[in-house]
Amino acid sequence: MNGAELKATLQAGGRVFGTMITHGRNPRWVDALGGIGLDYVVIDTEHGPRSRAELADYLVAFGNSGVVPIMRIPIPDSHYVTMALDAGAQGILAPYCETVAEVKEVIGAAKWRPLKGEAVRRLMDTGEHVSDASRAYLEQRNRNTVAIIGIESVVAVNNLEEILKVPGIDGIFVGPNDMSISLGYPDQYDRPEYQETVKRVIDTSEAHGIPTLVHHQTADLSAYWVSQGARFVLHTTDRRTLTEAYRRDFAALREVAAGN
């Protein structure tokens, strides 16, 4: 699967499945990621410390994996968008967007790279292209690019209808930790205030034909949000999966050893 195929699956009403890479750095890990049924991964550079060169080598390894690499950039800024795509990402996740202006900057950089300055601002504001030739060239060049917007606060939810009018958004991301803090109930994911807010994000986005990612760490929570309409399924992290698998297996081994 590539970025264009991932978008086509979602646009047809389907689901895609992925995880977040918070610790993986070595390109040799990509072989393992390519063999477990993932459609995409989100590589975290908002909270994860990685160099540009390190990221570029890691992203190159995804080329023949069949897994679409999407980078969570540090802030919603056009410079970080283009750095991620230039390094080889097939998509970006821009965290904590709250305004239409922020979203336009991100989408302009993601979908119309390398157009810059007044030309891309005019395009995002009015839809006016430099020329038909430039439009066709840029559409082809950026055909695989997936653009995901992070809606992670009460302010962002209240602005969501206007944000969704910006053309070019391929997904809406909900960060549960940030959202729950913004609501005043940190990490209380069973609170009705949290559940109602996230459901509102999913339903509002789907009404615009845009799928939602709700990034939870447990299978039960992820499954719940799939049942509530999340189609861009983002489940757990590489670190948590590795930790939980080792913990589970060695707990079982110690139990057997204790009985012998």
Question: What is residue 25's predicted lDDT score, i.e. its pLDDT?
Answer: 87
Continuous segment of H or E residues that includes residue 69: strand 68-72
Using CA atoms, how far residue 57 sits from 62, 80, 110, 192, 242, in Å, is 9, 17, 21, 43, 22
Beta strand spans in 151-225 (E): 171-174, 212-214
- CATH assignment of the domain containing 42: 3.20.20.60
Residue whose entry in the numeric block shows the structure tokens 């992070």: 150
The order of strands in the sheet holding 68-72 is 212-214, 171-174, 146-150, 91-94, 68-72, 40-44, 16-21, 232-237
Our measurement of the distance from residue 172's CA atom to the centroid of its chain's CA atoms, rounded to an integer in Å, reads: 8
d(CA 215, CA 236): 7
Question: What is residue 228's predicted lDDT score, i.e. its pLDDT?
Answer: 97
- The reply to whether the predicted model has a pTM over 0.85 is yes
Mean pLDDT for all residues in the chain? 96
Bin 24: left if φ > 0, else alpha if -120 < ψ < 50, else beta.
beta
For 209, list phi and psi in degrees, rounded to 5.
75, 25
- Per the structure, the count of domains in the chain is 1
Question: What is residue 49's predicted lDDT score, i.e. its pLDDT?
Answer: 86
Question: What is residue 51's predicted lDDT score, i.e. its pLDDT?
Answer: 86
Question: What is residue 39's predicted lDDT score, i.e. its pLDDT?
Answer: 97
Residue-range definition of the domain harbouring residue 77: 3-258
Question: What is residue 260's predicted lDDT score, i.e. its pLDDT?
Answer: 82
Say if CB 64 and CB 88 are below 8 A apart: no
Low-confidence ranges of the chain (pLDDT < 50): none
Question: What is residue 98's predicted lDDT score, i.e. its pLDDT?
Answer: 98
**Sequence letter at residue 224:** Y
